[in-house]
Structure 1
Amino acid sequence: MAAAFLVLALVAVAVVYGVRSPAAETESVPATSPGTAPAPAAAAPAAFAEAWRAPSGAAPVPVVAGPGVVTADGRTVVGRDAITGAERWRYSRDRPLCTVAEGFGRALALYQDGSGEWCSELTALDPDLGTRGPTANLDVRPGARLLAAGGVVAAAGDRYLETMRSDLVTTAQYGDVVAPAQPGRQPRPGCSYTSLALGGGRLGVIENCAPDTGDRLTVLRPDGSGDADTPNVELSTQLSARGVQLLAVSADREAVLLPGPPELQILDRSGNQVGLIGLDVPESEVAPPADRVGATAADGARTYWWSGSRTIALDRTGLAPVWTLGGTLGPGTAYAGGWVVPVEAGIAVVDPLRGTVERTIPVDRGGYTGKVLLAAQGGMLYEQRGAELVALRPM
């Protein structure tokens, strides 16, 4: 009887685990064959036509990875054919998505845990086939963003952030660590984060700390050279004001937007000011965005930041402003060897060296006038319009 009871107990445990395990709560339908990327564009076309659209409210920017495009909405991540939008693979769970981003050449899907209090379950998906790769358990809250640049991916909330390498092993923790292995290793727990930027292998964060009279700029080097719970802080300096926004970080510079009147403060790797330049930006557009991540894009020579009404090009190395283009809806993207920027009338083809508009390609957005974030895949152009991704085909 004792043996029979133990057998029944083991069977019951196995059934409960099978019903409640992550595998049982997950639907994964990989693609049956590799996809094909669209052919590159030799030049900006005379016209664009809408090819397809899909809901993608969990992706703050267009997710272009592998040969296709990834959309994310509700509880489901879908890999789509870049040209037709046809579903090629699907990954869904029984809990909401927090956010999705491209990183390490994969689609990174961050889900809530069972309690709904954390965005803790991160899965890497092959962008072509949708097969699952590494996973990780994070300690960020809902509202967190995933940032990726080069070989670094960061998950950042309002009081905690962590970085990871390509196998999703954590390389650095910073802020309010939930269960520190050794207490006392965090320099400023309890501060809130208002603005973040990643670049040049460095992660910059604007902190609001109660003892400080102004915002604080802290730059971390998440290279994984030490213990993950002991952050490698390269610099931390108090700024002259509150309500500042971190626009960009390079290998040895940081660009900070100061309020009233708007000025771009450029700092070196020691936190010393090396430039202070007035910007033609409305004061209402100085404050950092609600999700702490500015609307930026980059090519090999420049970083492009969108203030809310203007696109400003910064030199990629020194971060000094190069040109300003008004009347824009987003920072733009590289296309056919040049730069294109969304404007009310459509897509402006811009000289990336001078910021002059060479011509405008009409695009009918059906009355939508909000922020437009662009990405290109071959000759296809993608617009993130709020919670929807719209694909444009060159004509």
Structure 2
Amino acid sequence: MLVVALAASAVVLWQTGDLAATTRVPAAEPGAVQEPPLQFPPSLAETWRADSPMTPVPVVAGAVVATGMGGEVLGRDPLTGEVKWRYARDRALCTVAPFDTAPPQRTDSGTVLALYASDGGALPDGDPYAKGGCSEVTGLDGTSGKVERTRNSDAEFGTRLLSDGSTVTTTGRRLLTSWRSDLVMTSQYGTRPTPVQFRSNLRHGCTFGSVAVTPGKIGVIERCPEDNGADRLTVYRSQSPSGKDNDDVEVVSSTVVGARARIVALTDTHTAVALSDPARLRVYTSAGIALADYPLDEPGLGEPANTDPPGATVLTTTGPEGVYWFTGSRTVALSPADLRPMWTIQTTLGPGVVQAGRLVVPIQNGLAVQDEVTGANVGVIPVDRGGYTGPITMSVTGEIVLEQRGPTLVALR
């Protein structure tokens, strides 16, 4: 009902160029940012749900929770799901994400990034981007829904947007692109869709398997012709050196790691990579030196060993006491100091989220509440998901716990 009321005051812009056929309906008045609870609630029940297939992770930005479907992004009241603002285009959405670290728990207005599809333009048929991609991004103020900035860039279909708090990076099989918060490009790594100067210091003809970010750095699993079937872990800086082109990046380290690798987590000092046959987690130093191997009693790491994760991103969440990794069937807590495994929760549905000093992990028919440091179970909160048993990503805003169940976003309180 509110959408109809807001639509009456919508400003519809019909113009040529990238913003043709755009509908903007800003919030009538700013909402309140939810205050985080001091204690975890004893019970949770569903308060609202919405179709949102374009948000792989629940999107919290200031006073709203954003949902995305078709060509439309909606800013919703976290408590009720009521639509507060709307932004829509006549193009398909590729993905919607917060410009923040994961999980997003900002107390300011935040920014919602809406990435839209584009066609291949005048690119020749032989170009890998000739069929188009996801190149038109809009930054929306989370509280008001007003457009902060826009830009055209290069990203592939199926991309995810990974934010480290100051830079956001698009994932892809051939190209990774990073922007600052003002959407000014800071670096590009891989095969660009237009001819550029040859960089003799970088490898060429590589494809990418998985990506992770940390402030100032990006880690990627590469597959390059010269490595004879082995995977390579490369870490580079998200900001190209001053005075150089965006694709002239500074590589921090590059190391051959073996076949069927997945980058799990990246910090300023360490990188964790999951390897198969046998299943193990290997931790590397910032210089690319193997530090330690930790056995993982899980053939294929919970998913087909010969596939890369959806969106080239392993499911993790970060809290004050650790990095929490969903392998596909269990959640593993990694030390924030050196990324060594600390403890494991069996038979989970996702990495979980931290709220009120506890790690809340989705399990069959409920949420397991765990001590962040020891992994000890504090309790289980029943949740009726109506038969849904697939992977779940989560976020929180105030007392609201959000679950992304496939194409559906569900709010619990």
How far the C-alpha of 1:281 sits from its partner, in A, is 2.5
- Give secondary structure in 2 for the equivalent of 1:291: helix
Pair 136,142 (structure 1): closer, same or farther in 2 beyond 3 Å: same
Determine if contact 1:110/1:123 at 8 Å carries over to the other structure.
yes
Quote the residue 2:155 is aligned against.
140
2:198 paired with 1:197: no
CA-to-aligned-CA distance 1:56-85 (integer Å, 9 cap, x gap)? 101111001112101111110000001000
Quote the residue 1:183 is aligned against.
198
Counterpart pick for 1:236 among 241, 249, 254: 254
- Give secondary structure in 1 for the equivalent of 2:323: strand
Quote the residue 1:25 is aligned against.
21
- Give the Cα–Cα distance (whole angstroms) in 2 for the partners of residues 77 and 243 of structure 1: 36
- Which segment drifts farther, 161-170 or 225-234? 225-234
- Give the Cα–Cα distance (whole angstroms) in 2 for the partners of residues 92 and 162 of structure 1: 24
Larger Rg: 1
Pair 284,315 (structure 1): closer, same or farther in 2 beyond 3 Å: closer
How far the C-alpha of 1:51 sits from its partner, in A, is 0.6
- Give the Cα–Cα distance (whole angstroms) in 1 for the partners of residues 301 and 358 of structure 2: 30
Aligned AA (1:168): L
CA-to-aligned-CA distance 1:356-383 (integer Å, 9 cap, x gap)? 2111001000000111111110010000
Quote the residue 2:64 is aligned against.
68
How far the C-alpha of 1:180 sits from its partner, in A, is 4.7
Quote the residue 1:4 is aligned against.
none
Counterpart pick for 1:355 among 375, 388, 398: 375
- Percent identical among aligned pairs is 42
- Give the Cα–Cα distance (whole angstroms) in 2 for the partners of residues 131 and 195 of structure 1: 33
Aligned AA (1:55): D
How far the C-alpha of 1:47 sits from its partner, in A, is 1.4
- Give the Cα–Cα distance (whole angstroms) in 1 for the partners of residues 401 and 15 of structure 2: 42
Quote the residue 2:123 is aligned against.
none
CA-to-aligned-CA distance 1:121-156 (integer Å, 9 cap, x gap)? 011000000000121211112111110112121012
CA-to-aligned-CA distance 1:274-297 (integer Å, 9 cap, x gap)? 111112333252643132101100
- Give secondary structure in 1 for the equivalent of 2:202: coil
- Give the Cα–Cα distance (whole angstroms) in 2 for the partners of residues 20 and 135 of structure 1: 15
Which aligned pairs between 1:67-86 and structure 2 lie closer than 5 A?
67-86=63-82
- Give the Cα–Cα distance (whole angstroms) in 2 for the partners of residues 23 and 198 of structure 1: 30
- Give the Cα–Cα distance (whole angstroms) in 1 for the partners of residues 232 and 335 of structure 2: 24
Determine if contact 1:215/1:242 at 8 Å carries over to the other structure.
yes
Quote the residue 1:9 is aligned against.
none
- Give the Cα–Cα distance (whole angstroms) in 2 for the partners of residues 159 and 186 of structure 1: 17
- Which segment drifts farther, 200-209 or 19-28? 19-28
Which aligned pairs between 1:168-179 and structure 2 lie closer than 5 A?
168-179=183-194
2:54 paired with 1:58: yes
- Give the Cα–Cα distance (whole angstroms) in 2 for the partners of residues 24 and 273 of structure 1: 51
How far the C-alpha of 1:185 sits from its partner, in A, is 5.6
Counterpart pick for 2:286 among 266, 269, 284: 269
Pair 88,371 (structure 1): closer, same or farther in 2 beyond 3 Å: same
Runs of 4+ in 1 over 4 A off after TM superposition: none
Quote the residue 1:3 is aligned against.
none
How far the C-alpha of 1:23 sits from its partner, in A, is 3.9
Aligned AA (2:142): P
Which aligned pairs between 1:205-244 and structure 2 lie closer than 5 A?
205-213=220-228, 214-226=230-242, 227=244, 228-239=246-257, 241-244=258-261
Quote the residue 1:6 is aligned against.
none
- Give secondary structure in 1 for the equivalent of 2:225: coil
How far the C-alpha of 1:339 sits from its partner, in A, is 1.1
- Give secondary structure in 2 for the equivalent of 1:46: coil
Determine if contact 2:283/2:291 at 8 Å carries over to the other structure.
yes
How far the C-alpha of 1:24 sits from its partner, in A, is 3.6
How far the C-alpha of 1:223 sits from its partner, in A, is 2.7
Pair 333,181 (structure 1): closer, same or farther in 2 beyond 3 Å: same
TM-score, scaled to structure 2: 0.88
- Give the Cα–Cα distance (whole angstroms) in 1 for the partners of residues 200 and 193 of structure 2: 13
- Give the Cα–Cα distance (whole angstroms) in 2 for the partners of residues 277 and 22 of structure 1: 49
- Give the Cα–Cα distance (whole angstroms) in 2 for the partners of residues 319 and 128 of structure 1: 35
C-alpha RMSD of matched pairs (Å)? 1.7
- Give secondary structure in 2 for the equivalent of 1:368: coil
Pair 330,57 (structure 1): closer, same or farther in 2 beyond 3 Å: same
How far the C-alpha of 1:182 sits from its partner, in A, is 2.5
Aligned AA (2:268): A
2:114 paired with 1:109: yes
Determine if contact 1:103/1:153 at 8 Å carries over to the other structure.
yes
Determine if contact 1:281/1:310 at 8 Å carries over to the other structure.
no
How far the C-alpha of 1:232 sits from its partner, in A, is 1.1
- Give the Cα–Cα distance (whole angstroms) in 1 for the partners of residues 337 and 68 of structure 2: 33
CA-to-aligned-CA distance 1:2-32 (integer Å, 9 cap, x gap)? xxxxxxxxxxxxxxx9553344410010001
Determine if contact 2:151/2:183 at 8 Å carries over to the other structure.
yes
Count of matched residue positions in the alignment of Structure 1 and Structure 2: 376
Pair 310,18 (structure 1): closer, same or farther in 2 beyond 3 Å: closer
Pair 26,236 (structure 1): closer, same or farther in 2 beyond 3 Å: same
CA-to-aligned-CA distance 1:77-124 (integer Å, 9 cap, x gap)? 000001000000000100100011111531001001245612100110
Pair 18,91 (structure 1): closer, same or farther in 2 beyond 3 Å: closer
Quote the residue 2:91 is aligned against.
95
Q: 5+ residue gaps in structure 2?
A: 1-12, 101-109, 121-130
Aligned AA (2:113): L
- Give secondary structure in 2 for the equivalent of 1:329: coil
- Which segment drifts farther, 82-91 or 269-278? 269-278
Quote the residue 2:103 is aligned against.
none
How far the C-alpha of 1:54 sits from its partner, in A, is 0.4
Q: 5+ residue gaps in structure 1?
A: 1-16
- Give the Cα–Cα distance (whole angstroms) in 2 for the partners of residues 168 and 371 of structure 1: 31
